[in-house]
């Protein structure tokens, strides 16, 4: 196997990605697939942190349309991320890999409280660490939570898994002629409004010189190939 390019990474997955072919909730085949992909890179020696969204269950941003105020909606969304995090932790441990779930909101019966030094120690001991409940505060997305946790644990990169092969100049699922970028700067992502991650998340990575790699998580083996140096996805840097 080729040498590992990134020793410690923060993998960001959307909640919607867990739906698979369903219109809501969790597709257990997709969950098992993700757990297998994560196990591959863990077994290769990569220290792995994970942030997963909750959009397959509840999105805080859409709560206001239902008469729910934004703060309450975001808190509901944080709880949705915990449901997904618990499901992913269970799937990972069924593969025989140790993990820890840490929550930004205190819920001692099901998760450890997020403590930066403890999270780093778990990673050093070879445990996969799943960070649930976003940042613990409303108005911040799980993209921002991923960037924040990545900076805090001193990750080498944020790896964002999507349904497409990287960053394009338009939606490749709607435009077959969309142009893929192999490399792009943070500034160009913001100028072109490419929606790789939200403004706060991109700015946080830019300020801390933290690379973002956007790739197709649905392609078997892509995650491991990316981390062993293959030219997969789009690299976002200075």
Structural Rg of the chain based on CA atoms? 17
The answer as to whether 2 is a domain residue is: no
| Residue 75 included in any domain | yes
In angstroms, the CA 235 to CA 214 distance is 7
Across 6-19, b (16+ Cβ under 10 Å) vs e yields bebbbbbbbbbbbb
Tell me, yes or no, whether 57 lies in a domain.
Answer: yes
Paired tokens of 104: 């930004």
Characterize the bridge pairing of strands 180-181 and 167-168: antiparallel
| Structural domain range at position 27 | 8-237
In a domain, 19, yes or no: yes
Half-sphere exposure of 171 (CA within 13 A, CB side): 3
pLDDT at 62: 66
Query: What is the predicted pLDDT for the residue at 23?
Result: 82
CATH number of the domain encompassing residue 218: 3.40.1160.10
Residues 227, 44: Cα–Cα separation, whole Å = 10
Phi, psi of 113, rounded to the nearest 5 degrees: -70, 145
The answer to whether residue 14 is domain-embedded is: yes
Residue 56 lies in a domain: yes
Strands 234-237, 183-185: pairing is: parallel
Residue 201 in any domain: the answer is yes
Count of Cβ atoms closer than 10 Å to residue 86 Cβ: 15
Tell me whether residue 3 is in a domain.
Answer: no
Give the model's pLDDT for residue 60.
61
Q: What is the pLDDT of residue 83?
A: 97
d(CA 111, CA 125): 18
Q: At 37, is the secondary structure helix, strand, or coil?
A: helix
β-pairing, 167-168 vs 47-52, is unpaired
Give the number of domains in the chain: 1
d(CA 21, CA 223): 21
Torsion sign (Cα): 177, 178, 184, 187 = positive
Per-residue pLDDT of the chain (238 residues; tens, 9 = 90+): 568 999 999 999 999 999 988 888 999 999 999 999 999 999 999 999 999 999 999 876 666 677 899 899 999 999 999 999 999 999 999 999 999 999 999 999 999 999 999 999 999 999 999 999 999 999 999 999 999 999 999 999 999 999 999 999 988 889 989 999 999 999 999 999 998 899 999 999 999 999 999 999 999 999 999 999 888 999 999 8
What does the pLDDT read at residue 26?
95
Tokens read off for 22 = 């369903």
Q: Closest Cα to residue 202, out of 56, 61, 12?
A: 12
Question: What pLDDT sits at residue 151?
Answer: 98
């Amino acid at each position: 196997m080729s040498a590992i390019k990134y020793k410690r990474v923060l993998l960001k997955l959307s909640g919607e990605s867990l739906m698979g072919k369903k219109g809501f909730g969790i597709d257990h085949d997709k969950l098992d697939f993700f757990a297998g992909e994560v196990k591959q890179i863990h077994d290769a020696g990569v220290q792995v942190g994970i942030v997963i969204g909750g959009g397959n269950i509840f999105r805080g941003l859409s709560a206001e349309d239902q008469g729910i105020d934004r703060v309450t909606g975001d808190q509901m969304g944080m709880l949705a991320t915990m449901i997904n995090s618990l499901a992913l932790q269970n799937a990972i441990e069924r593969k025989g890999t140790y993990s820890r779930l840490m929550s930004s909101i205190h819920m001692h019966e099901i998760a450890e409280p997020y403590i930066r030094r403890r999270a780093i120690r778990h990673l050093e001991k070879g445990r996969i660490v799943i960070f649930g409940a976003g940042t613990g505060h409303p108005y911040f997305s799980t993209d921002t939570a991923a960037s924040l946790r990545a900076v805090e644990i001193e990750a080498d990169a944020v790896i964002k898994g999507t349904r497409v092969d990287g960053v394009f100049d338009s939606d490749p699922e709607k435009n077959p002629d969309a142009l893929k970028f192999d490399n792009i700067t943070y500034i160009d992502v913001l100028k072109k409004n490419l929606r790789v991650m939200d403004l706060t998340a991109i700015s946080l990575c830019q300020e801390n010189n933290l690379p973002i790699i956007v790739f197709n998580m649905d392609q078997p083996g892509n995650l491991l190939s990316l981390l062993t140096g293959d030219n997969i996805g789009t690299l976002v840097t200075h």
